[in-house]
């Protein structure tokens, strides 16, 4: 009983000790979970503050540079396309052999002669895309240009065929320049700007026709200001309905001038300001109405849109994908979705690698001339709205009720650009990459901040010899892949060597047993182990056979117990 009591007490002590250990583990786990949760909440808070800061910067930006504001807006309002695209790929039931990231960008060139999206910028991009002239640095390798494919005048061309008639295929740029620099348009624009300036200047003078000390000055300014309200800007003040009000206003001013004791000449000069305002207003209105007859109604409107699609060098070779196949997919997307728009030129470049031996990186450029009857911005906004209604009503609800012909806020324009990007890359995924077991994926938010991705995007416009990051990533990935292959092959070779050694050991043991007890039974067992003798090196095999034959001759082995005459036979 005493031993049982002591044993019970010991069990109770062990139990209590176990309970305490469990409590400690739970406490540690709870503390760690709380710390992890705190870190997560802090990261989320920092991200929210960053997003808020970016949105505030975008809304309050005083920058006159459209590109700077565009970058801010993209950061502030973009949605997580990675999640949307990943879901699309998961639902198609395809198991991808490899996954890659790609880059997509869009440039809309206007009718201006200077600036980052001007005709000069368009000319530079065309010169590069048509491989016409290098811009003081190594943009491509001439000995690789034969790999390029082009699309112009509705046909696909090799590099050699394209170069023969390159000037003809680029002649559309001369037409664009001619339209943009139309002399009558230019004259009209100058006249419109002049009378807009005159109208504004005389309107400011109009509000000063009564001195600031006049008791009715504030009321007078309030009434005069109504002339330039948005809803009244286009009113014809010469019509009967409005001319009477203008006459009353002039009569009121005349009475006030008489009360102020102004001379006749001074009164006439004051009223002449009113007459000049009315004259400039009328001329400005007429020019605005005739603007519809201009070839280019707005110099900021898009004359050519360039779409760029790039596969970074880091993903290695893509020889399994046909270059014409890729370019056809790029061209077909815009031909199928933008009625009336014309593909002026498309090019697929495969000549920006580091050597002929390793063909990496593909770049596609598509130059689109918008439908003449509809501005490009309206076309792609309408396209984005259609796609949002058809496929992404939950992800892009803000696009469902917009009016494409009206001016829209930055967050709507960013969403439209993202829809265009999403649908274009989804089209390439379906038409090209699915057929080769390759999946495209968008960078996650955390990956966008990684050094290698940031540098890779920055280096896009640098000379070839300076674009180190993407190629370094590619070579590093290739090196890692080869290292893994070598390690795997080494493991397999070791396994084969070990298996061979084991079989050789069993073979020699079987021969030893046969030599100790030569009989029909031991001979059969030994022959079973000697089945792989032909896999041995020729020298080893010959030496082994000679030893067996020598043993049989010296010991006068019975024919039933011999093995030399039966080795290698079924």
Strand partners, 106: 307
pLDDT in tens, the chain (570 residues): 445 555 556 666 766 776 777 677 667 777 777 777 777 777 666 666 655 655 555 455 444 455 545 555 565 567 888 888 888 877 777 888 888 888 898 999 998 888 888 999 999 999 999 998 877 666 788 888 899 999 999 999 999 999 999 999 999 999 888 888 777 777 888 888 898 999 999 999 988 888 888 888 888 888 888 888 888 888 888 887 788 888 888 888 889 888 888 898 998 898 898 899 989 999 998 888 887 766 666 788 899 999 999 988 778 777 788 899 999 999 999 999 998 899 999 999 988 876 667 777 889 999 999 987 888 999 999 999 999 999 999 999 999 999 998 888 888 998 999 999 999 999 999 999 999 999 998 876 555 555 455 555 555 555 444 545 444 455 555 666 677 778 778 888 888 778 777 777 877 887 888 888 788 788 777 777 777 677 666 777 777 788 888 888 888 787 777 877 777 665
Global pTM reads 0.60
Distance in angstroms (rounded) separating the CA atoms of residues 420 and 383: 8
Distance in angstroms (rounded) separating the CA atoms of residues 104 and 114: 25
Residue identified by tokens 């009016």 is: 403
Residue identified by tokens 């504030």 is: 218
pLDDT of residue 469: 47
CA gyration radius for the chain? 41
Distance in angstroms (rounded) separating the CA atoms of residues 233 and 226: 9
The pLDDT tens digits for 499-528 are: 777 777 877 887 888 888 788 788 777 777
| CA dihedral sign, ordered 517, 519, 525, 527 | positive
Nearest CA-CA partner of 296 in 187, 169, 174, 413 = 187
Nearest CA-CA partner of 172 in 306, 293, 282 = 306
């Amino acid at each position: 009983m005493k031993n049982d009591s002591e044993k019970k007490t010991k069990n109770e002590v062990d139990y209590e000790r176990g309970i305490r250990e469990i409590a400690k583990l739970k406490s540690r786990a709870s503390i760690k979970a709380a710390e992890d949760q705190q870190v997560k909440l802090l990261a989320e808070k920092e991200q929210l503050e960053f997003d808020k800061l970016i949105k505030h910067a975008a809304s309050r930006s005083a920058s006159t540079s459209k590109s700077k504001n565009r970058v801010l807006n993209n950061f502030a309002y973009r949605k997580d396309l990675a999640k949307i695209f990943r879901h699309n790929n998961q639902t198609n039931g395809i198991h991808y052999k490899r996954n890659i990231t790609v880059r997509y960008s869009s440039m809309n060139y206007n009718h201006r002669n200077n600036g980052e999206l001007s005709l000069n910028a368009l000319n530079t991009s065309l010169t590069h895309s048509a491989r016409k002239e290098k811009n003081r640095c190594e943009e491509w390798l001439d000995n690789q240009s034969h790999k390029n494919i082009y699309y112009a005048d509705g046909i696909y061309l090799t590099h050699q065929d394209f170069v023969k008639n390159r000037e003809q295929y680029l002649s559309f740029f001369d037409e664009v320049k001619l339209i943009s620099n139309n002399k009558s348009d230019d004259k009209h624009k100058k006249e419109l700007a002049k009378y807009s300036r005159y109208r504004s200047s005389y309107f400011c003078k109009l509000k000063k026709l009564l001195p600031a000390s006049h008791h009715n000055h504030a009321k007078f300014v309030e009434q005069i200001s109504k002339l330039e309200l948005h809803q009244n800007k286009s009113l014809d003040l010469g019509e009967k309905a409005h001319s009477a009000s203008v006459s009353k206003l002039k009569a009121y001013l005349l009475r006030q001038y008489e009360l102020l004791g102004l001379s006749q000449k001074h009164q006439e000069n004051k009223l002449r300001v009113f007459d000049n305002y009315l004259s400039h207003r009328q001329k400005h209105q007429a020019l605005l109405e005739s603007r519809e007859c201009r070839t280019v109604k707005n110099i900021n409107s898009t004359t050519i849109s360039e779409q760029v699609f790039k596969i970074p060098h880091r993903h290695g070779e893509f020889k399994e994908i046909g270059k014409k196949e890729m370019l056809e997919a790029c061209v077909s997307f815009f031909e199928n979705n933008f009625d009336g728009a014309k593909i002026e030129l498309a090019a697929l470049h495969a000549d920006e690698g580091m050597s002929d031996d390793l063909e990496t990186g593909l770049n596609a450029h598509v130059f689109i001339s918008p439908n003449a009857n509809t501005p490009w911005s309206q076309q792609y906004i309408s396209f984005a709205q259609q796609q949002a209604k058809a496929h992404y009503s939950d992800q892009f609800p803000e696009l469902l009720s917009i009016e494409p012909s009206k001016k829209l806020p930055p967050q709507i324009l960013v969403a439209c650009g993202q829809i265009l990007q999403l649908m274009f890359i989804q089209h390439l995924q379906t038409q090209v990459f699915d057929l080769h077991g390759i999946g495209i994926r968008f960078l996650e938010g955390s990956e966008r901040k990684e050094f290698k991705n940031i540098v890779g995007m920055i280096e896009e416009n640098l000379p070839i010899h300076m674009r180190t990051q993407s190629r370094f990533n590619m070579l590093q990935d290739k090196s890692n892949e080869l290292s893994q292959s070598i390690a795997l092959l080494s493991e397999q070779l070791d396994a084969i060597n070990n298996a061979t050694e084991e079989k050789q050991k069993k073979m020699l043991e079987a021969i030893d047993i046969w030599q100790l007890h030569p009989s029909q039974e031991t001979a059969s067992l030994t022959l079973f182990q000697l089945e792989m003798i032909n896999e041995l090196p020729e020298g080893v095999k010959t030496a082994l056979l000679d030893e067996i034959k020598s043993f049989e001759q010296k010991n006068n082995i019975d024919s039933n117990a011999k093995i030399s005459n039966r080795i290698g036979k079924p």
